[in-house]
A and B are shown apart, each in its own frame.
Chain A
Amino acid sequence: MLLISNGRVLDPASGTDAPRDVLLDGDRIVAIAPHGHLASRAQGAEMFDAKNLIVAPGFIDLHCHLREPGGESSETIETGTRAAARGGFTAVCPMPNTRPVNDNASVTRSILERAAAVSPVRVWPIGAASIGSKGEALAEIAAMKQAGIVAVSDDGRPIATARLLRQVMEYCRALDLPVIDHCEDSSLFAGAVMREGKQSVRLGLSGMPAATESLAVARDVQVGELTSCRLHIAHLSARSSLELVRAAKAKGLPVTCEVTPHHFTLTDEDVQYDTRYKMNPPLASREDRDALIAGLADGSVDAIATDHAPHEPALKDVEFDRAPFGVTGFETAIGLGLELVHSGKLSLMRMVELFTSGPARVLGIERRIAENEPGDLTIFSTEHKWTFRAAESASKSRNSPFDGRDFRGAPMATIVAGRIAYQR
């Protein structure tokens, strides 16, 4: 047994915001009560004093890259999930763009077996939509679902054609799986490495306009409407895309979206030939960034997802246009989310929702603090001051634009299946 006492329980699903003790037994939550009421029942239990801390449902990251199999010099399931636990995540969804691609049940099973052996957090793999994510033939989606995938995506690239997307969506609707798309119409540019705008022209770097993303979102929403399949837009970065998602939601379509911490924090003006600021979609304009924050606050955005994309230094320490896209994100996500709370742009409850019940709904599950629910909790401070040092990260990679950033607020403990997976 584990008793979390003295904390402030924030549970978006029930709207609870109250001082409560939470008792876990085995891998489940067994009781929630005002402080002190569980003392007799919790005799002999391990105690965690959550005084001055927030006790929230376990945080879920819908979008990350653990690189294993195939990219172990940048990250492994072990190092990536340790970084996730340090970041307060109790469950992470690795994208299928590994080598080999997670496009069949044997790869899915091998990822889950490895995770069971080494991961402190839950690993919920996302399967490829097409074989090899090549955009030609459908992957073995039903077999992967039996093995444990929670969604499908060809992340890293869009699902290639509208026709394939339609087939994938028809198929996934029958399997009750959401389709996650990386929206990018790359026919609009050639070899772009950042967002098109003043800064790309100043730096002489090839840019992609915001419409690169929203063109693809428009396609996806309309193909989605043909099929009634659940559609989730990955790492949405542009105001024009958000407007399309809003319109789809207003129409009652099952469309959701996620935004990354780097997109709601940084802009293209921050890009200065430093490859730690290079990711896809690229950092957007100030207007887009402000629109994303508004979307996080008003409910148009469903989840904050990290798109944790580790790359070893040998890959990133190169000319800007030759570096791979991607930044790490697990360990700075809560700190960046709290920046929006401290600046008054987001309520604390809404921030927690974006990390918990929001992403859970995208996956078609619930996430709440209630009796008999899984014993996954994220305990964090809104005040703890600390500095992120990429060199001290649990990740194998160092490619974070937030190296050296001072934060107010931090994950203090990550509880997975009734056990403390990480404690600060």
Chain B
Amino acid sequence: MPFRFGHMLGIEPLSAEEILFLLDQSKPFQEIQRHPLKKLATLRGKTVALAFFEPSTRTRISFATAAARLGADQMNLQAESSSLKKGESLLDTVRTLDAMKPDCIVMRHSSSGAPDFVARNLPLPVINAGDGTHEHPTQALLDALTIRDRRGTLEGLNVTILGDILHSRVARSNIHLLSKFGSRITLCGPAMWLPRELECLVPAGTAIRRVTRIDEALEDADVVMTLRVQQERLHEPALALDEYILQYQLTPERLRIAKPDALVMHPGPMVRGLEIDPAVADGPQSCVLEQVTNGLAVRMALLFLMIGADSSSERDSSHAAD
């Protein structure tokens, strides 16, 4: 099926077929990561603008490496060096980037909806690399690729997500994605981070539940996703770190409640000894590094589909129409 998105702003509007198409397209790029020579010329002459308005290490490097391995050039904007500090508006900043004629813009921003706002105002494909507490679509895609590789399917799995669900864009994108494949989703964490409205993110009839006791949340789990505990959030309202560790740290003992071959995933950056016990992070069930490698494949596939030869000719004509 054709890929028909001008932008990649979130998982919510995608269909299951579109997601499977993206995962299938990622397959050959997974292969490339195993080659001794990893660089392709597919996007030679194309330029990817990386606009990170919020500090990021792994996602920025992953997108930059994905672009490099496809042969694309890059424009790099980072919060620390940006003119935003000098009072320039987001719109003026991205219009300036656009005037240097990139073929797409990959952006991260601390405001939910900022990529949506840019997409409405620029004639340029926008890829959301994480916006506020809204979505982080490529993270959910790489998670799905990892799960499908290990389990052979995304259908009908029991997936438990642990942590500050309310403030997590990773959780939101994964909830949207998994709900499209009939997974049973369990959200677990301190009650104030589990508002009832989270159940409304998914279509009516989706199996989704909120559980505050970790033992209950882990029963029969096929996949356990641990979220980073955003320490900046712990202060409002104040929750003692020790209290979180006591109640919600994923330990080897707790992991035994899940299915014996349950996958352990983490979007990073991971704080050992806080949300996850080091023995679990390094254990045989952990997919953490595999996730990172798959992130390259998913992002290469996405860049290829969005600004590769076929898609760009259409966009050039739409540029002309403007």
Bound Cα distance from A282 to B8, whole angstroms = 29
Q: How far is the CB of A186 from chain B (nearest CB, A)?
A: 14
List, in ascending order, chain A residues with CB within 8 A of B195's CB: 201
Q: Please tell me if the beta carbons of A203 and B200 are within 8 angstroms of each other in the complex.
A: no
**CB within 8 Å of A: which B37-56 residues:** none
Partner of A204, one of B90, B112, B236: B112
* Interface membership of chain A positions 197-217, coded 1 if the CB is closer than 8 angstroms to chain B and 0 otherwise: 110111111100000000000
Give chain B residues whose Cβ lies under 8 Å from the Cβ of A318: 89-91, 117
Q: How far apart sit A273 and B128, CA to CA, in the bound complex (Å)?
A: 15
13 additional contacts, CB 8 Å, given A202-B201, A203-B134, A320-B112?
A196-B197, A197-B197, A204-B112, A204-B113, A204-B134, A204-B135, A205-B132, A273-B117, A317-B89, A318-B91, A319-B109, A320-B111, A321-B112
Which residues of chain B in 191-206 are interfacial with respect to chain A, using CB atoms and an 8 Å cutoff? 195, 197-198, 200-201
Answer whether residue A174 sits at the interface, using C-beta atoms and an 8 A cutoff: no
Q: Are A205 and B113 in contact (CB under 8 A)?
A: yes
Nearest A-chain residue to B168, judged by Cβ? A204
At the interface, yes or no: A117 with Cβ under 8 Å from chain B?
A: no
- Of the residues A190, A197, A273, A314, contact of B112 by C-beta under 8 Å: A273
In the complex, the answer to whether A319 meets B197 with C-beta atoms within 8 Å is no
- Complex Cα spacing A137 to B169, Å: 44
Residues of A within 8 A of B111 (CB): 319-322
> Within the complex, which residue of B12, B132, B236 is in contact with A321, where a contact is CB–CB below 8 Å?
B132
For A314, the closest partner residue in chain B by CB is B89
- Report whether A317 and B134 are in contact in the complex, using a CB–CB cutoff of 8 Å: no
Give residues in A with beta carbon < 8 Å to B.
Answer: 190, 196-198, 200-206, 272-273, 314, 317-322
Q: Given contacts A190-B236, A319-B109, A320-B111, is CB(A204)–CB(B172) below 8 Å?
A: yes
B131 close to A (CB within 8 Å): yes
- Across the A-B interface, the 9 shortest Cβ-Cβ residue pairs: A273-B113, A204-B134, A319-B111, A204-B133, A204-B112, A201-B197, A198-B200, A198-B197, A319-B114
Question: Which of A197, A204, A272, A314 is B132 in contact with, Cβ under 8 Å?
Answer: A204
Task: Using C-beta atoms within 8 Å of the partner chain, give the interface range for chain B.
Answer: 20 to 34
In the complex, which residues 129-180 of chain B have their Cβ closer than 8 Å to any Cβ of chain A? Answer: 131-135, 166, 169, 172
B32 to chain A, nearest CB (A): 33
A165 CB to closest chain B CB (Å) equals 27
Known: A273-B116, A320-B113, A321-B111. A202 touches B200 (CB 8 A): yes
Min CB distance A185 to B, Å, is: 16
Cα distance A322–B117 in the bound complex, in angstroms: 12
A-B contacts, 10 of them at CB < 8 A, read A198-B200, A201-B198, A202-B197, A205-B113, A273-B113, A317-B89, A317-B121, A320-B111, A321-B111, A321-B112
The residue of chain B having its C-beta at the shortest distance from the C-beta of A275 within the complex is B117
CB of B104, distance to nearest CB on chain A (Å) = 20
User: Main SS of chain A's interface residues?
Assistant: loop
For B121, the chain A residues whose CB sits under 8 A away are 317
Residue of A at shortest CB range from B111? A319
Taking CB atoms, residues of chain B closer than 8 Å to A198 are 197, 200
Residues in chain A near residue B91, CB distance under 8 A: 317-318
CB-CB nearest in chain A for B166: A201
**CA separation between A196 and B198, bound complex, in Å?**
12
**Inter-chain contacts of B112 with A (CB < 8 A):** 203-205, 273, 320-321
Whether the pair A320, B117 counts as a contact (CB closer than 8 A) is yes
Chain B residues with CB below 8 A from A319, complex form: 90, 109, 111, 113-114, 117
Contacts of B201 in A (CB 8 A): 201-202
Residues of A with C-beta under 8 A to B109? 319
Nearest chain A residue, comparing its CB with the CB of B172: A204
Q: Are B169 and A204 in contact (CB under 8 A)?
A: yes
- Give A317's nearest chain B residue, CB to CB: B91
Q: Which residue of B lies closest to A273 (CB)?
A: B113
Closest to B201 in A: A202
Q: How far is the CA of A76 from the CA of B89 in the complex (A)?
A: 25
Closest to A206 in B: B133
Q: How far is the CB of B289 from chain A (nearest CB, A)?
A: 28
- A200 and B172 CA atoms in complex are apart in Å by 12
Expressed in whole angstroms, the minimum distance between the Cβ of A22 and any Cβ of chain B is 49
Cα-based distance from A322 to B116 in the complex (angstroms): 14
Minimum CB–CB distance for B267 against chain A, Å: 16
Give the Cβ gap from A35 to chain B, nearest Cβ, in Å: 53
Give bound CA distance, A319 to B172, whole Å: 20
- Mask of B195-230 contacts with A, CB within 8 angstroms, 1/0: 101101100000000000000000000000000000
Which residues of B have CB within 8 Å of A314? Answer: 89
Residue of B nearest to A197 (CB): B197
Q: CA–CA, A158 to B194, complex, Å?
A: 30
Measured between beta carbons, the chain A residues less than 8 angstroms from B236 are 190
Quick one: which of A201, A204, A314 has the most chain B CB within 10 A?
Answer: A204
Instruction: Give the CA-CA distance A330 to B166 in the complex, in Å.
Output: 38
Determine the distance from Cα of A383 to Cα of B12 in the docked complex, in whole angstroms.
41
Chain A residues positioned under 8 Å from B12 (CB to CB): 202
Distance in Å from the Cβ of A206 to the closest Cβ of chain B?
8
User: Which residue on A lies nearest to B12, using beta carbons?
Assistant: A202
Please, which residues of chain A bring their CB within 8 A of the CB of B113? Answer: 203-205, 273, 319-320
Considering the chains assembled together, what is the distance between the CA atoms of A34 and B135 in angstroms? 65
Minimum C-beta distance from B88 to chain A (A): 11
What's the nearest-Cβ distance from chain B to residue A330, in Å? 27
